[in-house]
Amino acid sequence: MVNDSVWLVSHCSGRCCRHKCDPARITRPLPLHQLLRAVGVYRRCTGCVRVVHGLCTAFSAQYQATFFLKDAPKTDTKIAVIGGSGIYDIDGLDGAEWVSVESPWGTPSDQILTGTLDGVVMAFLPRHGRGHVHSPTSVPYRANIDALKRLGVTDVISISACGSFREEMAPGDFVVVDQFIDRTFAREKSFFGAGCVAHVSVAHPTCPRLSVACITAAKETGINVHTSGTYLAMEGPQFSTLAESKMYRTSWGADVIGMTNMPEAKLAREAELCYASVAMITDYDSWHPDHGEVDVTQIIATLMGNADKARSMVAKLPGLLGKDRAPCPHGCDRALEYAILTRPEARDPALMAKLDAVAGRML
C-alpha cells in the first residue's frame, strides 16, 4: 500500500472537471487531505488532477473514500423492506399509510406502506403486490427501485422465499446472501443504456454493513441464520428440473435458489442504495433424495412460519441501524462515481429525465 504522504500533484488545468476546480500546482509531498484541499477536489472528480506516483495517473478510489467519509455529513436512515412471497405488510409502524409513488419506469408492484418504527422511517413494498399478482418475470423491478429512491430510502432489505442446495440450510432457516449467479433472461436489468451508458461494479452485490445488521437481528430473534451464501436467480415461474438442481448445487456451487433477487440487486446498486438479501428457506428444491420434487403446499406451510420470523427480524433493524446514517463505508451510495461513460453533450435528454432520481446526484 502506498503511503499517502508521497503522492504528488503535477497540475490541474480545470478544463477536465465540470465542477470547475481551481488550477493548482503542488511541488512537495502532502498528506492526502491537504492535497485535495489544495486542488479544490471536494466533488470527487478524479479527472481534476494527475497524481504522480510511478505509473499512477489518478487518485485511487480507496483514498478518496477514506477522505470523503471522514467529514461527510450524516443523513437520516430510511429503511425499505421488499417483501417476497408470504410477506405483504409489516406490523407495528407508527403513522402507517399506503402511498402511491409515480415512476417514469412504470407502475411499481403496489403502493408502498410508509411509517416509522422506533423513530426510524420505514417503507414496505410487496414485491409481488398484495394478492400476489406479479410473477417473478412480470415484477416491475426498475419501477420498484426507482420509487424507493424517490421516497428517500437509503437502505433496502430484500426478503424472499428460496430453495436450498445445502443439507445444513434447512427449511425454516434464513440465509443472508452475499453473492449471486444470474440466470434470468426476460427482464430489463439496467436503468442505463443507449443515450447514457454506465457500468457499475457488482463484484460484491450486497452491502456488508447492512448484511451484518440483518444477521444480528435474525440471531436476536432466535432464527437459525447462515451468514453467507450464493443465490442462483432463475427466470421461473417453473421450478428447476432435477438435472438443473444437481448442476446448480454441485458444479456451480450455489447455496440457495430463487426467482426475484435479480435484477433487483443490480438495480439497487445502480441507484446507489445499500442492499441486503435475506433468503427464507422453504424447501430443498429437487436435488435432495429424501425430499423429492418441490411441493407448493409444503412451501406455503413453511412460508407462514418464515413470514412471522421475518417480521420479528425487521422489527430489530431500526435499533441496530440507528436514526443517523453516515455514508456507506463500502461505497454502495457512491456506486455511480466513476460508472457513467457517455459524455454530457451526447446524453439522451429523455433518458436523463427518467434518471432524475436514480442518478440525479451525478447528472
Q: Give CA–CA dist 97/223, Å, rounded.
A: 29
Tens of pLDDT along 62-78? 444 444 444 566 799 99
When the candidates are 3.40.50.1580, 3.90.1150.10, 3.30.365.10, 3.40.1710.10, the CATH number that belongs to 75-325 is: 3.40.50.1580
Residue 91 banded pLDDT, cuts 50, 70, 90: confident
The percentage of the chain sitting over the pLDDT mark of 90, rounded to a whole number, equals 71
Q: Is the pLDDT of residue 192 over 70?
A: yes
Summarize the confidence of residues 152-160 as an average pLDDT: 97
Higher-scoring residue by pLDDT: 307, 109: 109
* Catalytic center residues: 283, 285
Q: Give CA–CA dist 312/360, Å, rounded.
A: 35
Whether pTM > 0.85 for this model: the answer is: no
Tens of pLDDT along 13-50? 333 333 334 434 334 444 444 444 443 433 333 333 33
pLDDT of residue 122: 97
What residue spans define the domains of the chain?
Answer: 1-71, 75-325
Summarize the confidence of residues 155-175 as an average pLDDT: 97
pLDDT of residue 90: 83
pLDDT of residue 72: 60
Average pLDDT, the chain: 84
pLDDT of residue 54: 30
Residue 184 banded pLDDT, cuts 50, 70, 90: very high
Higher-scoring residue by pLDDT: 215, 1: 215
Tens of pLDDT along 207-221? 999 999 999 999 999
pLDDT of residue 73: 65
pLDDT of residue 305: 82
* Lowest mean pLDDT, pick from 50-54, 84-88, 146-150, 262-266: 50-54
